[in-house]
A and B are shown apart, each in its own frame.
Chain A
Amino acid sequence: MELHSIKDLLADHPVFKDFDEETLDLLAGCGRNEHFAKGSLIYKEGDEADKVYIIRRGDVAIEIAAPGRPAIVVETLNQGDVAGWSWLVPPYRSSADARAVTEVSAVSLDANCVRGKCDDHPALGYQIFKTWLPHLTKRVRAQRLQLLDLYGAG
């Protein structure tokens, strides 16, 4: 029952919209439906990046903690985004905090499980690469613009 519903939730998400049934079945086996209350921490910088969150509803702030001052929000993720990339890259540690700005519903995918399935089914790994890379590219491009501090002088 749970597998079926996770698969449906994934199929509804823009990142997975082009995945076929078989691939969704593979991924759904690694998934769990999760809810986070407004203000709660989803993951913390330095934590083991053991999950990736497929945001179904709500807003997530990506924060960098700074000593002696409030944490700085550097990016907001919303419905249709994916929170957490560190699970893909050794040493698999989160590089920022993620906090629920509103109530958040997400499907979390167990990183070990997904990596294991990618090893067993290289086609799955390639499909994840092909469909997720454009999302990551968009975010990197946006953050480059942010770095320019465009509005400071304009």
Chain B
Amino acid sequence: MDDITLSARQQALLDRFLHENKLFYAPDPSIMENHRIAPRSELEERLLSQPLDRQKINELRGLIVAALDESHTMIEQMGAAPGAKWGDMTTAIFTAAGDLSMIAPHGVGGFAAAVFYPIKFIIKHWIPEPTVGVREGDGFIHNDARYGGIHNTDQSMMMPVFWKGEIVCWLSATIHEGENGACEPGGMPAAAESKFDEGLKMPPFKVVENFELKRDLVTFLQNSVRDPKLQLEDMKVRLHSVLRLRERVLKILEAFGPEALVSTLRVHIEDVVTEVRRRIAELPDGTTRTVSFADSTLRENALLKLNMAITVQGEKMIVDMRGSSPELLNRSINACQASFKTMLFTGFMQNIWPDLPFTMAVFTPFDFIFDEKSLINGSFDTPQAMSLIPLFKTMTIACIPMAKFNYSLPQRYTAMVAPQYDQPATLIYGGLTQHSEYVGNFCADINGMGQGGRSHRDGEHSVSPPFAAHCDLGEIELMEEDLPMVRLGAFTLARDRVGFGKQRSGLGYEQIHTYRNSGLWGFMTGCSGSLFCSAQPLFGGYASPTYPLCKVKGVNVFEFLAQQPEALPLDIVRIMNEQPIPGASYSTHDMGMTFELAAPGELYMMCQGAGGGYGDVLQRDPQLVMKDLEEDLISDATAREIYQVIYDPASRVVDEAATERARAAERQARLARGKPYDAFLAEWQTPAPPAHLPFFGCWDDATVVYGVSMGQRVKMDGKALSSMFMLNPKDLRIAELEAQLKAALARP
């Protein structure tokens, strides 16, 4: 049967049959695996072949950016989602082919850099589909990251702009909504064991006709989530911000004509491609490499490797991620390659080329290589609701290999910076509020990561998330008006939890959460980095520390405070070490906690993290160490033992000569304990990961990948990875306890 050959007529018939009888419009690999801008359209080719009026293009660019700013501000002012209040959204404009051209000047660019995928899906599949079509006044909604996106909490509104019957551009508005009807509240379920546990999974579909929301579809979506008010409100907000943006674009079309707009949108991205090619070409040719490890699947501890090699060849940059962890079929921390590219791009825009316009065209000169079925090239069937675990690392991972390319440049575009803290260290919550409303969402602390140390100065404290510089931390008082949560401690920088270095990292801060006035409330965290340090250092600094989740249970802190208001120190380390509340249970846990209900007045405490340190600690200016002491960022023990600074503890006057002697002695101690590399390697390196480590990823050869499936270690060819299937941690715990019981009963 293999030798059937079809005639041209039969082939045409078969093609037509398949085209007309498509079973399922799954994500289209030809769209999802193509991050490059489309070739010029005929119109673009004609317009851009002529001499361009750069002055006019700049004028239009200004008008478009102002319009984007205005529509973005509308969302900030009106959006109901907590994320909208802190800046976790954007509006954007795309070419007629769907390529991202410009975003709002203080928007989250990653959203727009992911939305071009569903727009291209609409163009390719829904325009020619007679039951759908695209007409003036239509708007499309989308949230499923498999069709483009970062994760399914982000909902977008996409709308074409017509001019005399033709689409001239596309507009979008995206908000991190949070709640989406998943198996846990808040939209980022760590407990999801399949994609069907993830809540709403919207491929792009039409939800607006004649510029109005279709109420039947809105009702369906409201009926699918815990917070129907939020769903309705923000669908209206996204629609009306896009409509305002459309009004402004129509004014531009009326004033300047469609050709000027089309030229501007296209030239803007082509100029970026040209500039990026120039920047790559001025880097040294060669390869730089790094590795990054997450230590949790959010259900169990596991060492999950991201393996990155970046190669520069002339004007081309190749990002090779082969050898990274395999995908986990029943854990929610997988990401598809489009999400990975978007977040890597976001990191480039924050730390490496922050001066470039925010358009995905930056990556057009890039090639990518992945293993199929890897954690960051996850297949369609994998749950991806907590893709943030690899994706937060993705945003910072390129800092190290790119610094090793960029350092030599005679002219730099920005400072060298060690990686920012790279895990979403925030509390996710859900339950019934004091206003008798069911909600589920997350706290703004996700935006408070410490920055890495920089080539010319220390990192900034709790500065921003790694995906956007402007997002803020919200107002605790506002949160407490809406929610039963109470923050007993907030924004106290976490002393001694620093990426030490010549230039130290910025610090994260402590969060002490509890709640009252609710009969049903609970928390979850979705974060790794409790066993293995998260934010990696640069050029000989040290990493961030590890961070546990701390709980104080079995007690109502409000009752304790009513009796002894002065007796509770608002400091996590003191609470845990001094255990001031009698009868309470104090415990530490890793930072991957699936949703659990809490009792009123119980404490859940965590830290936002520090970035990586930059450079040798012995080169840190002793006066800066004293300043750190004055600001209570470090302890005396750190000043003496890590930085080797000798000073009078009372006056904090540095003894320069004694400090230099101490540092010289430490350098001699290094020479005494260090071993030549080859000799060290002979005793250090093992042929395979140690048996005690649940290790996922390559070891010494990027083409051979390890994993753990059904409790057994597996070794695979990187070209033929299998999906890993994890055992239920509760089943494992039950088996462990049963074995203990059996052994105890067997004792005479």
Chains A and B belong together in one complex: no
Query: What is B's interface to A at a CB cutoff of 8 Å?
Result: none
Query: What is A's interface to B at a CB cutoff of 8 Å?
Result: none
